[in-house]
């Protein structure tokens, strides 16, 4: 008899969070949602919590429960540490971290330190503080299972192979909505255009990151930590239809890939069920004919400078990845608010890296301080040299 896994879904009101709740609801004999959290959307969280009958509910914004004494009376938590508390609760077995941004770091650490499975969508945790995340898993006995589709693909392809058997991994990238946009038009691209992703429906931040290819740089860093691979053994190839989710090449030249129609529900289900696989009524049977020809092309790093900046930050190590990530978060919000142009985002991130990448990151607190410094600096860049986004 297999037990029911009790889930904490952090970021439950978002894209990955809602997909997780949908997957869990289809397998009630295997998963129960014990806890849910959100950033600030109290009304959406109330709906979600009622639907999945979660026992524990938390919202990150400190004043979110003002004027709602009945929620506090019902045991709701609030404040920046609330998601972290849910991640460590004794009646939670699996923490699905679907929070967006570096705000997800503390909950990732808490889950791993408490010896739980962390099904990680929040790549920013690993990017900002990879060494400390791995250390938390070692100390607490927790396990890190990727939810990002590319890393789930690599996880599935590597299977039980020894690390020494892997020559390299090749992450696939859709190329985003601007894959074929001429450079002049790219500089004037608007948020509305950038939010039209060709193959995935996701939250706004990762959708913009996919348009700039910053997301692929974050994923290269994520792969470096998850699979212990040096950067020269992590490649990226553009694959516009997002059918092949990544490749693993072994030392004998054999290459394995994982394929499916693009749906986050599959890597989520995999991360929850592993090492088992569950039959799912909704995930479609793969049809190679319908999937069509599988095309691949190189990344045009010149047109997408955030890709190169991010990978370089990963290679530099120390505080550089945290600085890259934090400045990028500020740049994305500024772009969404039409305060910076598409091309201006890379300038903001580059300035922050120039000023702060050399900082040491000897503790989680030092990483968070570098993160805060990068946010301050990026925000100042914005005030000093506002660049109007083309409308």
Q: What is the dihedral of CA 245, 248, 254, 260, to 10 degrees?
A: -20
Give the Cα separation of 322 and 306 in Å (integer). Answer: 14
Nearer to ligand NDP, 17 or 88 (CB): 17
Task: Determine the distance from the C-alpha atom of residue 292 to the mean position of all C-alpha atoms in its chain, rounded to a whole number.
Answer: 28
Q: How far is the CB of 253 from ligand NDP (least distance, A)?
A: 30
Q: How far is the CB of 13 from ligand NDP (least distance, A)?
A: 4
Give the Cα separation of 193 and 177 in Å (integer). Answer: 8
Tokens of 74: 């019902």
Q: How far apart are the first and last CA of the chain?
A: 59
Cβ-in-10-Å burial (0-12, 13-18, 19+) of 330 comes to buried
Nearer to ligand NDP, 202 or 346 (CB): 202
Q: How far is the CB of 340 from ligand NDP (least distance, A)?
A: 19
Nearer to ligand NDP, 238 or 351 (CB): 238
Give the Cα separation of 114 and 330 in Å (integer). Answer: 31
Report the length, in residues, of the chain: 391
Nearer to ligand NDP, 65 or 355 (CB): 65
Of 8, 27, 4, nearest to 265 by C-alpha is 27
Nearer to ligand NDP, 41 or 350 (CB): 41
Q: Which residue has the tokens 């939670």?
A: 92
Nearer to ligand NDP, 150 or 249 (CB): 150
Q: How far is the CB of 289 from ligand NDP (least distance, A)?
A: 26
Nearer to ligand NDP, 210 or 351 (CB): 210
Q: How far is the CB of 35 from ligand NDP (least distance, A)?
A: 13
The neighbour count for residue 320, using CB atoms within 10 Å, is: 25
Which residue number places its CB atom closest to ligand NDP? 14
Q: How far is the CB of 385 from ligand NDP (least distance, A)?
A: 27
Give the Cα separation of 26 and 43 in Å (integer). Answer: 24
Q: Reply yes or no: is the peptide bond before residue 275 cis, omega within 30 of 0.
A: yes
Q: How far is the CB of 130 from ligand NDP (least distance, A)?
A: 14
Q: Which residues bind ligand NDP (CB under 6 A)?
A: 11-17, 38-41, 44, 60, 83, 98-100, 103, 121-124, 148, 200, 202-203, 205-206, 264
Nearer to ligand NDP, 10 or 387 (CB): 10
CB-based contact 331:349 (threshold 8 Å): yes
Strands in 117-120's sheet, in edge-to-edge order, are: 77-78, 56-59, 31-38, 5-10, 94-97, 117-120, 143-146
Give the Cα separation of 11 and 325 in Å (integer). Answer: 19
Tokens of 180: 């074929």
- Name the strand (E) or helix (H) holding 234: strand 234-238
Q: How far is the CB of 84 from ligand NDP (least distance, A)?
A: 10
Give the Cα separation of 342 and 183 in Å (integer). Answer: 11
Nearer to ligand NDP, 64 or 352 (CB): 64
Q: How far is the CB of 37 from ligand NDP (least distance, A)?
A: 6
């Amino acid at each position: 008899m297999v037990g029911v896994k009790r889930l904490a879904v952090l970021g439950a009101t978002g894209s990955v969070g809602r997909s997780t709740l949908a997957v869990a609801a289809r397998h009630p004999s295997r998963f129960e949602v014990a806890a849910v959290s959100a950033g600030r959307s109290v009304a959406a969280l109330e709906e979600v919590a009622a639907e999945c009958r979660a026992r524990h509910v938390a919202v990150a914004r400190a004043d979110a429960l003002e004027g709602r004494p009945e929620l506090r009376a019902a045991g709701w938590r609030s404040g920046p540490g609330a998601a972290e508390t849910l991640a460590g609760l004794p009646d939670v077995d699996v923490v699905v971290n679907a929070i967006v941004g570096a705000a997800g770091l503390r909950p990732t650490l808490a889950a791993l330190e408490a010896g739980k499975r962390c099904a990680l969508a929040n790549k920013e945790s690993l990017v900002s503080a990879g060494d400390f995340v791995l250390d938390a898993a070692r100390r607490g006995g927790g396990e890190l299972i990727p939810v990002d589709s590319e890393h789930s693909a690599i996880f599935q392809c590597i299977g039980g192979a020894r690390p020494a058997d892997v020559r390299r991994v090749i992450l696939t990238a859709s190329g985003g909505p601007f894959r074929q946009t001429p450079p002049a038009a790219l500089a004037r691209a608007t948020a509305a255009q950038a939010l039209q992703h060709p193959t995935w429906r996701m939250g706004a931040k990762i959708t913009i990151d996919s348009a700039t290819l910053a997301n692929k740089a974050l994923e290269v860093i994520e792969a470096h930590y998850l699979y212990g691979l040096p950067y020269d053994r992590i490649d990226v190839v553009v694959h516009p239809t997002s059918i092949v989710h990544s490749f693993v090449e072994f030392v004998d030249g054999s290459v394995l890939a994982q394929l499916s129609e693009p749906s986050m529900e599959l890597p989520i289900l995999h991360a929850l069920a592993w090492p088992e696989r569950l039959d799912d009524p909704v995930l479609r049977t793969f049809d190679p004919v319908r999937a069509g020809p599988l095309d691949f092309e190189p990344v045009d790093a010149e047109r997408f400078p955030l890709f190169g900046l991010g990978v370089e930050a990963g290679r530099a190590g120390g505080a550089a990845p945290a600085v890259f990530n934090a400045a990028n978060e500020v740049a994305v919000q500024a772009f969404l608010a039409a305060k910076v142009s598409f091309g201006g985002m890379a300038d903001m991130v580059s300035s922050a890296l120039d000023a702060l990448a050399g900082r040491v990151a000897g503790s989680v607190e030092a990483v968070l301080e570098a993160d805060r410094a990068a946010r301050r600096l990026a925000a100042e860049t914005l005030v000093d040299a506002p660049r109007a986004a083309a409308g």
